[in-house]
């Protein structure tokens, strides 16, 4: 399979998982945390699915399209590992993390801190959606929607 | 429709159009020109569909994944408008251009030079696949595969 084919599957899986959980998140208090704003396409999708919800986005550099740039108070620029721990305890309803790189060594380094960070950002019962698998005792894996193959995108609930 | 939804449709359309024409390109002499290498996912797809074919990729900066970086002799770094005209007359079998930005004014500026450049890179009978519409007297619009809606991706044949 080409990298284009697997990218299409990954981005489609991301969208399908977010659509799968958005009604439940809509009924839960707490902000949404977007780790890895990038071009802002997923930010735009979340904004559409969760109208009015506060979405706080993180990236090491602003590279979003002008129409998908958060307000300054909802945008945190810097290394997520350094900036996001300040928001531990914010009781987020949803944390979405799309910060895989396609390099196994870089992703392994990310996974030394991302699961714990995610658990600390979420409220009890809150949801984590991630492109990288999050192994953490407080994050319980959840069934994926039928359209998404195992290991393409990951879904958890904070205990 | 969110920007994520329309991105998924656009990238899927790109893949479907390239798959639609790849058998014909495989039977035609001439290099493939990739205008806008980016992450290199489409480069990887073209390489898989057209094994052994020379693919020359252009970008203003190298941002490709390590596994999808062309050999140095097939990579041209710089503004495409300035670098690619040197290859006019190369008789390419396929020119693929994925250099839209999502900003109407920037895309309009690109369209002042991209159609003519594309026509000059292609052989007679060669194929152009583009994310932006190419209006040029020598580029005849071709029917899209059934999965692709009109105006999501564009397909032409050089007269
Ligand atoms: C794959 S992109 C996200 C794409 C996004 N979902 C969209 O819709 O455009 C990943 C982004 O995360 C950022 N990123 C990755 N790891 C990071 C880190 N450790 N700290 C800060 N930003 C990071 C990158 O700069 C990049 O913009
Ligand atoms: Ni913990
Ligand atoms: Ni001409």
B127 closest CA partner among B105, B84, B158: B158
What SS3 state is found at A149?
coil
Whole-angstrom distance, CA of residue A118 vs CA of residue A129: 10
Q: Which of A18, A32, A13, A151 is nearest to A87 (CA)?
A: A32
Q: What is the pLDDT of residue A4?
A: 98
Q: What are the chain B neighbours of A11 within 8 Å (beta carbons)?
A: 4, 7-8, 11
Domain count, chain A: 1
Ligand 1: which of A33, A55, A59 to mutate, most ligand atoms within 8 Å of CB?
A59
* Backbone CA torsion sign across A113, A117, A118, A119: positive
pLDDT given at position B69: 98
* pLDDT at position A133: 98
Q: What is the full per-residue pLDDT of chain B (159 aa) written as tens digits?
A: 999 999 999 999 999 999 999 999 999 999 999 999 999 999 999 999 999 999 999 999 999 999 999 999 999 999 999 999 999 999 999 999 999 999 999 999 999 999 999 999 999 999 999 999 999 999 999 999 999 999 999 999 999
Query: Distance from the CA of A131 to the center of ligand 1, in angstroms?
Result: 11
Among candidate residues B155, B157, B154, B149, the one with its CA nearest the CA of residue B8: B149
Cα(B112) to ligand 3 centroid in Å equals 12
Q: Any residues with CB less than 8 A from the CB of B57 and at least 6 apart, and which?
A: B34, B37, B40, B43, B64, B70, B74, B75, B76
What CATH number is associated with residue A121? 3.40.50.150
Of the candidates B9, B35, B4, the one whose C-alpha atom is nearest the C-alpha of residue B98 is: B35
Per-residue pLDDT at A128 = 99
pLDDT at A41: 98
Q: Which residues pair with B32 in a beta bridge?
A: B55, B94
Answer whether B118's CB lies under 8 Å from B134's CB: yes
Q: Report DSSP state, residue A37.
A: -
Which range of residues forms the domain containing residue B103? 3-158
Q: What is the pLDDT of residue B127?
A: 98
* pLDDT for position A78: 98
Series of mean pLDDT values for 10-residue runs along chain A (159 residues): 97 98 98 98 98 98 98 98 98 98 97 98 98 98 96 97
pLDDT in tens, B60-85: 999 999 999 999 999 999 999 999 99
Residues in chain B: 159
Whose tokens are 């329309």? That residue is B6
From CA B124, how far away is CA B92, in angstroms rounded? 9
Please tell me the distance from the alpha carbon of residue A99 to that of residue B98, in angstroms, as a whole number: 23
**HEC secondary structure over B101-124:** CCCHHHHHHHCCCHHHHHHHHEEE
User: B5 contacts in A (CB within 8 Å)?
Assistant: 15, 45
Measured distance CA(A8)–CA(B13) in Å, rounded? 10
Nearest ligand for residue B136 CA? 3
- Nearest-CA residue of chain A relative to B12? A8
| Model ipTM over 0.95 | yes
Closest partner CB to A2 (pick from B8, B45, B66):
B45
Tell me the C-alpha distance between B110 and B119, whole Å.
15
Q: Which helix (H) or strand (E) holds B45?
A: helix B41-49
Region for residue B88 given its phi and psi (left: phi exceeds 0; alpha: psi -120 to 50; beta: otherwise): beta
* Chain B closest-CA separation from residue A45 CA (Å): 5
pLDDT of residue A83: 98
| A120, A90 contact by CB (below 8 A) | no
Q: Say how far apart CA A2 and CA A65 lie, in whole Å.
A: 27
Contact B157, B126 (CB under 8 A): yes
Coil, strand or helix: which one is B99?
A: coil
A60, A63, A69: which is closest to A35 by C-alpha?
A: A60
Residues B36-54 pLDDT 10s: 999 999 999 999 999 999 9
Query: Distances from the Cα of B120 to the Cαs of A148, B133, B146, in angstroms?
Result: 43, 16, 29
């Amino acid at each position: 399979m080409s990298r284009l084919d697997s990218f299409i599957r990954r981005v489609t899986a991301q969208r399908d998982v977010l659509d799968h959980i958005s009604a439940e998140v809509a009924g839960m208090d707490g902000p949404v945390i977007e780790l890895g704003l990038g071009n802002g396409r997923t930010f735009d999708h979340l904004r559409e699915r969760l109208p009015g919800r506060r979405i706080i986005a993180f990236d090491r550099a602003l590279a979003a399209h002008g129409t998908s740039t958060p307000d300054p108070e909802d945008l945190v620029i810097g290394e997520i590992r350094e900036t996001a721990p300040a928001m531990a305890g914010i009781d987020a309803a949803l944390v979405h993390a799309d910060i895989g790189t396609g390099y196994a060594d870089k992703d392994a380094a990310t996974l030394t801190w991302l699961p714990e960070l995610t658990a600390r950002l979420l409220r009890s019962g809150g949801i984590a959606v991630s492109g990288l698998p999050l192994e953490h005792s407080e994050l319980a894996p959840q069934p994926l929607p039928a359209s998404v193959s195992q290991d393409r995108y990951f879904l958890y609930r904070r205990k």
